Amino acid sequence: MSYKEKYKKWLELNIIDEKTKDELKALTDEKEIEDRFYKDLEFGTGGLRGIIGAGSNRLNIYTVGKATEGLARYLLDRYKENIAVAIAYDSRNMSPEFAECAALVLGANGIKVNLFESLRSTPELSFTVRELKCNAGIVLTASHNPKQYNGYKVYGHDGCQITDEAAKSIISEINSVDYTDVKRISREEADKSELLNIIGEDVDKKYIDTLKGHTIRKGLVEEHAKDLNIIFTPIHGTGLMPIKRILTELGYENLHIVKEQENPDGNFPTAPYPNPEDPKVFELALKMANDIKPDIIFGTDPDADRIGVVVKVSNSKYQILTGNQMGVLLTHYILDAFKEEGKLPLNGAVIKTIVTTEMVRELCADYSVELFDVLTGFKYIGETMGKFEETNRNTFLFGFEESYGCLFGDHARDKDAVITSQMICEMTLYYKNKGLSLYEGFINLCEKYGYYKETLISIELKGKEGQEKISNCLDYLRKNEIRDIDGVKVKVAYDYKNSKENNLEINEVNTLDLPKSNVLKYVLTDGSWFVVRPSGTEPKMKVYAAVVGTSLDDSEEKLRVFEKNIMKIINNILL
């Protein structure tokens, strides 16, 4: 069916409300109509994410309903009866409405729903699925995307975002659903039935108490938490309630909230791109720092699974840490603290993604901890944690990815900015008591392990043409294998779509034991590497690059040159 036929069908369908039809009738730009209808909004390996609006390629109550009907069919086929699903939502526009829509579709299919009374974080949803022994979970969020986006993430019974095998089955069910097939009960019917259970404080308390139990150096926190000076911004998201609560209960008395960004607001008035990776979101916090002189500053994205950190360099200067730098600091702190406390297991493991810093490799080896690499996406970290549980081969200690996501503890299977804020405060307190800032602690690690430097280049390519350019670029790179970058030879080329590891030094090809993914990675003989992949959540192609140097200046210069040479290749292909 062409986009014009789909557009016409939506205008004719009786189930489409008049407000939605009016929005569609008001469209005058043919390109806009095409973009809204040239495809159905894709249910990827984790769920839906798209621009809010009318159309088959937009997020609205009809696309959410269709996805939920497909999910319901999958659950009914897999579990047959006594099925339960937990649903949470963040501060984004339409999140409450989409959450209720999903609840009413599930209810119409005879599935019990545990719906949070108000907005909650993504990590608490992951915890809740496990705590309430649900068969699945849904969270309405577009994470750190701009305000026009929302999303629909699906979790399995283990609290982990659905992985590839389950996603394929769910996608198959969704594809078999027509908009007219979607069943709904009314909110009144749901409230009267036993199929809708509103949850809140009881689950909140269990979640917070569980996190508090993960404190490592308890004596340090009990005695000195009051001495730490903190600035926190929830960036108009869900982080305020859980982070303020947990830090207060742990005794951190000097917690200062950025007032302009304190209240939940889906329009994100002070941060058009509510991403803690973006330095702009910390401008207000840094203004506060002039008077407060905090030891640490941090901020969370709208669903509070990612966290960005700003550290003190001197009394008047602060510096933003990258996700890689923060992950290295936390890895070292956790392993060192466990070793000091005599709690470091013999089979300990740290998990990172293939686009995350290599700085932790030697660090983990120093503590006799095994390091695992997984595909990009925290669900693969969660999936690996599940395998540890099944086999007892390894004990999970910490997981992180370069995109500001970390998990400490086994209470969830997704990144958790709430417990990460707790651990950042504990770590900062530890360094402060030793007369060091976190920045100085990081430099000490660089002196020992090398000055690693990484960057991410995001190339925005919108619409159908943009998606074709991304696909063509990766196809070209596969057919024309890169052998060197500015004279430095490629040592190993990884093609995760074809499960191929090509060692060019010894001319040997091996099979990769990871799920298939449209990703290419090149490791050079000098330790530098780069990765090219399409974004799974935005109309972008992502290029990751990394080098290792002998000093800050050396690594920065190496990265500048390396990035320039890589982008010359990429841009020539995209032209």
DSSP assigned state of 99? H
One-letter amino acid for residue 53 of the chain: G
**Catalytic residue status for 143:** yes
- Asked if residues 505 and 491 have their Cβ atoms less than 8 Å apart, the reply is yes
CA 355 vs CA 175, 257, 281, 351, 381: distances in Å = 32, 32, 24, 12, 13
- What span, in angstroms and rounded, lies between the C-alpha atoms of 423 and 397? 13
- What span, in angstroms and rounded, lies between the C-alpha atoms of 125 and 304? 11
| CB contact set of 3 (below 8 Å; sequence gap of 6+) | 33, 34, 36, 37, 38
Q: Tell me whether residue 507 is exposed, middle or buried, using C-beta atoms within 10 angstroms of its C-beta: 0 to 12, 13 to 18, 19 or more.
A: exposed
Catalytic residue among 91, 95, 121, 143: 143
| CB contact set of 120 (below 8 Å; sequence gap of 6+) | 88, 89, 90, 204, 238
- Asked if residues 218 and 425 have their Cβ atoms less than 8 Å apart, the reply is no
- What span, in angstroms and rounded, lies between the C-alpha atoms of 20 and 60? 9
| 549 backbone dihedrals φ, ψ, rounded to 5° | -125, -175
Instruction: Give the residue among 244, 223, 210 at the shortest CA–CA distance from 430.
Output: 223
Q: What are the catalytic residues?
A: 143
